Amino acid sequence: MNKINADNAPLTAKIRFALFSLAAAQGFGSMGQMVMATLSAIIGATLSPLPELATLPVGAGVIGIAAATLPTAWLCRRFGRRPAFVAGMAWGALGSILAAYAIHIGSFAGFCCGCFIMGNNIAVVAQYRFAVTEFVPADRVSRAVALLMLGTLLAALAAPELALRASRLLQTEFSGSFVLLPLSYFAAAFFAILVPLGRPKTAPDQVVKERPLRQSLTRPPVQLAIASAALGFATMSLIMTATPISMHVMARHSVEATAGVIQVHLLAMFTPSLISGWLIARLGINRMLWLGVLCNIVCIFIAISGQEIWQYRMGLIALGIGWNLLFVSGTSLLATACSPDEILRVQGVNDLAMFGTMAVASLSAGAMLNGLGWTGINLIALTLIMLVVAALLRNRNHTAG
């Protein structure tokens, strides 16, 4: 289970078309996430009545993801993936318009609500990686997930620059960055319609007796998959959310420099997808998880060393690479560790844990930064990564046993 067999058989034209269409939907659907990652903390610091609440819009977006995780899974089971995906894009467009209007009238609460709705949409986009497992052979899942993330890479390349260019499109700064997002969401809906998606698979005719959820969650491989994704997301969210405030508000670096650091971080999050699926197939999931842990530790030590622009930049590059390796490897491990009768329920728990910890990290980042400082936040992140190490060691002992 530690390695995924490499199959050199070419994918059919139908599967390739579905993959590229879903990757395009992933890219357009991720634009809002990238704009929020670039600007939400800065806008929050401008609109917030208290400095401690500056990261609340980011936290609201992540809470929106967590809140929509189980409802999105239910909608996919009840109506099929395609209707759920299209409805999610329309809902995200509504959230971006609300966010733009809130910025225009100076409403902090309204901006948080807009971010919450846009976060709901991100939970829908997160389902794409599970949808792809339904029409791709099991031994190609890691590479297929990596391909989807290349769509997000294109969004990471384009979104920060477009957000800055559109920030002065309207009279109120930054409102234009959000008012254009519905175009991206509608493009994502169009490409999702092209993908032959139905309802998520279950065991054939329910012949296999369902394993109790608690029993599924007590198995070390499943725990490792969930821990690597959830704690990797929490670490990334904690540091990334705090970075714009630490750079722009505290260290007095320019908005352009701050946006540039976030952009290279977003690129580092998704560029490894060019090879991460291939590496997993050859090196195995566990080795890739250890490499992800190492990258996160490198990020933390660079961040602790100082607050010059190059230190922010290099630290967040390492953070992005580490997140990618933990996320892709964890997703691949979950797909191989679960049987068809349990995968849907475990996927729901996985995403709830992943986005729940991310929400806590985002919400607490501002208060932690004000109370503990930049070094203190990075030491908290180191503690989270050590929990991934504990899960890796436990799984190794289980495999050895």
Q: How far, in Å, CA of 99 to CA of 106, rounded?
A: 10
pLDDT for 380? 95
Q: How far, in Å, CA of 333 to CA of 345, rounded?
A: 15
Q: Classify residue 55 by its DSSP letter.
A: T
Q: What is the mean pLDDT of the chain?
A: 85
pLDDT for 202? 52
pLDDT for 211? 62
pLDDT for 147? 78
Q: How far, in Å, CA of 332 to CA of 324, rounded?
A: 12
Residue 241 pLDDT exceeds 50: yes
Q: Domain for residue 6, yes or no? A: no
Q: How far, in Å, CA of 33 to CA of 128, rounded?
A: 15
Comparing 66 with 400, the larger pLDDT belongs to 66
Q: How far, in Å, CA of 312 to CA of 318, rounded?
A: 10
Contacts of 91 (CB under 8 A, 6+ apart): 117, 120, 121, 124
Query: In terms of residue numbers, what domain contains 169?
Result: 13-199+215-400
Q: Domain for residue 139, yes or no? A: yes
Q: Domain for residue 1, yes or no? A: no
pLDDT for 209? 53
Residue 277 pLDDT exceeds 80: no
Spatial contact of 229 and 69, defined as CB atoms under 8 Å apart: no
Q: How far, in Å, CA of 239 to CA of 45, rounded?
A: 16
Indicate the range of 65-74, 140-149, 336-345 predicted with least confidence.
336-345
Report which of 121, 77, 175, 74 is spatially closest to residue 355, judged by C-alpha positions. 121
Q: Domain for residue 102, yes or no? A: yes
The SS3 of residue 339 is coil
Contacts of 214 (CB under 8 A, 6+ apart): none
Q: Domain for residue 337, yes or no? A: yes
Residue the block writes with tokens 């999050």: 269
Q: Domain for residue 155, yes or no? A: yes
The SS3 of residue 170 is coil
| Angle formed at CA 290 by CA 285 and CA 293, multiple of 5 degrees | 125
| Angle formed at CA 32 by CA 73 and CA 82, multiple of 5 degrees | 35
Query: Six-digit token pair at 192?
Result: 């999702």
Q: Domain for residue 209, yes or no? A: no
Residue 9: phi and psi, rounded to 5, are -65, 130
Kindly give the residue spans of alpha helices, DSSP state H, lying in 108-180. 108-126, 128-131, 141-166, 175-179
Report which of 124, 116, 104 is spatially closest to residue 28, judged by C-alpha positions. 124
Which amino acid type is present at position 199?
R
Most confident segment among 53-57, 378-382, 392-396: 378-382
The number of domains in the chain is 1
* CA torsion through residues 154, 155, 156, 160, sign: positive
CATH number of 175's domain = 1.20.1250.20
Residue the block writes with tokens 């949409």: 121
Q: Which residues of 37-64 are buried (b: 16+ CB within 10 A; e: fewer)?
A: bbbbbbbbbbbbeeeebbbbbbbbbbbb
Position 2 confidence tier, pLDDT thresholds 50, 70, 90: very low
Indicate the range of 71-80, 89-98, 100-109, 321-330 predicted with least confidence.
71-80
Residue 321 pLDDT exceeds 70: yes
Task: Express each pLDDT in 87-100 by its tens digit.
Answer: 999 999 999 999 99
Query: Six-digit token pair at 366?
Result: 């501002």
Longest dimension (CA), the chain: 65
Q: Which helix (H) or strand (E) holds 386?
A: helix 343-400
Q: Domain for residue 183, yes or no? A: yes
